[in-house]
Amino acid sequence: MNSETKICQNCKNSFTIEPEDFAFYEKINVPPPTFCFNCRLQRRLAFRNERTLYKKKCEAPGHAEESISVFSPDNPQRTYDHQAWWGDAWNPLDYGKEIDWSKPFFTQLQELWREVPDIAVMNINPINSEYCSITEGNKNCYLVFGGDFNENTLYSTYVFNCKECVDAYWVSKSEFNYETVDCISCMRLRYSRYCDDCYDSAFLFNCKNCHDCFGCVNLKNKSYCFWNEQLTKEEYQKRLKEINSGDAKQITELKQKFANFSVNFPRRFARLIQTANSTGDNLEQAKNCRQCFDVFGGAEDCAYDVLAYSRIKDCFDLDRAGLNTELVYESSSVYPGSRVFFSRFVFNSHDIYYSYNCHHVSNLFGCIGMRNKQYCILNKQYSEVEYKELVPRLIQHMQDMPYAGTQGRSYAYGEFFPIEISPFAYNETLAQEAYPLTKEKALAQGFSWRDPDQKTHTPTLTFEDIPDDITNIDDSILKEIIECGHKGQCEEQCTKAFRIIAPELQFYRQMKIPVPKLCPSCRHYSRVRQRNPVRLWLRSCQCGGSKSTNGAYVNDIEHFHGDMPCTNEFQTSYSPDRPEIIYCEQCYQSEVV
């Protein structure tokens, strides 16, 4: 098969379907996509609200209590609290519908979706951690999203097995971290990214097995380094005493200084660990994977996957999944599954089509909230023979009568759920985080938007009035409503005001960290911006011989290409207009050993 160029029916840009893609689509018997990779991902993310929380009454019979929910009070989606949803007092088959051959399939699915109860918030086995979402096993945590088995952790996302961490993002097995991103097994680390096994340090980038270092880049097995200069222990401690880490103004200046300093060192074109024949970024033990991002613990023969772990195989356009998942296409949150297509929140199941929030099931088509069932369509039970006769007919019906979305988008069999039937507004979901839009642009593209609720509280303290030094802040700040420094004038889900809670203040004092002047949401978005986008550019190595092509970095040793510029090319998530120095694997390894 040859590659084929198509025009995305959403963004109207061209995209290429490779021969390997056609082979996969033929293997699972689905037509090729009509949306490009990023628009496919954007569409799936528009169904995932992690961070926008509300209080909503449980709608289960005999219940009326308010609970934390990812659904707003005015959202028509029927919702039960976690205990009621998992209880035996209701049966999803009671909502079953006959197939209406006069309507598009997605219209029928949307009607069913709104009637079947959904879980108010997915927060499994929390202990004093009610304000968490899509999490499991957290204890004494607050505003933790997509993170499991943490303790005493606050305002963090994608954190796992962490303790006493605040404002962390993509961090695991760490303690006493603050404003760290992409770090593993670190302790008492602040303002750092891409660090492994580091402790008692601050302002590090891409360091491994380092301790007592400050403002350092690309170091391994080092200690007592200050802005990449090796010092004695005594000299290091002397210089460190000149810095007041609890002063907000100094920290702001240091952040800018470190940002300017770090771009003068070469960066690896992609973080690929034990991978073979693969492209993307943040891959570990991947083989024959294309355009995959944040895939850990083994993957083989995959493409266009984002955030997966623990062995996936033959999966295309899959995000937030793992645990031996295979043969999955255009789906999200599959743990584990086999032959799952165009579905999300599917657990321990196989042969699933166009279904949502289903557990221990098989052979479902267009089902919502099913548990321990098989051979069902639109939540109606069929015999095995009836099911196998109806499914091909329903697929043909989807082809003959596609769902007509807005802006000319058309959804036939082979496409994920139309973004128009998402139960969430665009700005409530991860789509806004990965593909940010203004309200005007979102509405112009036919996406829904929800204006923030008008807050009844009035700030009692402006961000300018917060003392810069943590030593000048007493317990009275716990009673204040603090104005966010962005004042709601941003596209970062700004809450305009926020409070400091007691465990948080204790952490700042213990770590000697200034009290933040931005709300938790705006702080989260600042961490999101530190990570590269989920897309690739073809670029050349920027090693010019004895130094980088921009002259900012002088190589430590002679590289394989001598004094001539390196001619290696690669696909990288660093766009060509960015200031960082990007080296190929060979040149990078020559410098960072």
Distance CA 92, CA 116 (A): 7
Q: Which of 23, 5, 24 is nearest to 339 (CA)?
A: 24
Distance CA 463, CA 442 (A): 30
Distance CA 172, CA 147 (A): 9
Q: What is the pLDDT at residue 542?
A: 98
Q: What is the pLDDT at residue 177?
A: 98
Distance CA 442, CA 444 (A): 5
Strand partners, 410: 404
Q: What is the pLDDT at residue 350?
A: 98
Kindly indicate the confidence band of residue 565, based on its pLDDT and cuts at 50, 70 and 90: very high
Distance CA 65, CA 487 (A): 33
Q: What is the pLDDT at residue 593?
A: 74
Q: How do the domains of the chain map onto residue ranges?
A: 463-528, 536-593
For residue 55, how many C-alpha atoms fall within 13 Å in the half-sphere facing its CB?
5
Q: What is the pLDDT at residue 56?
A: 95
Q: Is 61 helix (H, G, I), strand (E, B) or coil?
A: coil
Does the structure show a pLDDT above 80 at 470? Answer: yes
Does the structure show a pLDDT above 80 at 372? Answer: yes
Kindly indicate the confidence band of residue 491, based on its pLDDT and cuts at 50, 70 and 90: confident
Phi-psi region of 198 (alpha: psi -120 to 50; beta: other; left: phi over 0): beta
Q: Is 267 helix (H, G, I), strand (E, B) or coil?
A: strand
Distance CA 86, CA 352 (A): 21
The region of weakest confidence among 27-41, 214-228, 248-262, 456-470 is 456-470
Q: What is the pLDDT at residue 474?
A: 96
Which residue, chain included where needed, has tokens 């607050």? 142
Does the structure show a pLDDT above 90 at 322? Answer: no
| Angle, CA 235 vertex, CA 229 and CA 238 arms, to 5° | 115
Burial level of 514, CB count in 10 A (0-12/13-18/19+)? buried
How confident is the model over 52-74, as a mean pLDDT?
Answer: 95
Residue type present at position 119:
I
Q: What is the pLDDT of residues 516-561, one digit of tens each?
A: 999 999 999 999 999 999 999 999 999 999 999 999 999 999 999 9
Kindly indicate the confidence band of residue 453, based on its pLDDT and cuts at 50, 70 and 90: confident
* Rg of the chain on CA atoms, in Å: 25
Q: What is the pLDDT at residue 283?
A: 97
Q: What is the pLDDT at residue 105?
A: 98
Q: Which of 350, 369, 363 is nearest to 390 (CA)?
A: 363
Q: What is the pLDDT of residues 274-298, one digit of tens each?
A: 999 999 999 999 999 999 999 999 9
Q: What is the DSSP track for 536-583?
A: -EEEE--B-SSBBTTSS-B-SS--TTTTSPP--EEEESS-TTS-SEEE
Residue 229, CA distances (Å) to 8, 235, 259, 268, 358 in order: 50, 11, 17, 21, 55
Kindly indicate the confidence band of residue 214, based on its pLDDT and cuts at 50, 70 and 90: very high
How confident is the model over 582-586, as a mean pLDDT?
Answer: 97
Q: What is the pLDDT at residue 136?
A: 95
Q: What is the pLDDT at residue 374?
A: 98
Which residue, chain included where needed, has tokens 């806004």? 432
Q: Is the dihedral of CA 61, 64, 68, 73 positive or negative?
A: positive
Tokens linked to 472: 């000048």
* Residue 266 near residue 582 (C-beta atoms within 8 A): yes
Distance CA 157, CA 307 (A): 13
Does the structure show a pLDDT above 80 at 309? Answer: yes
Task: Count the neighbouring beta carbons within 10 Å of the beta carbon of residue 170.
Answer: 25
With a pLDDT cut of 90, the percent of the chain lying above it is: 96
With a pLDDT cut of 70, the percent of the chain lying above it is: 100
Q: What is the pLDDT at residue 69?
A: 97
Does the structure show a pLDDT above 90 at 33? Answer: yes
Does the structure show a pLDDT above 90 at 157? Answer: yes
Q: What is the pLDDT of residues 93-147, one digit of tens each?
A: 999 999 999 999 999 999 999 999 999 999 999 999 999 999 999 999 999 999 9
The model's pTM: 0.95
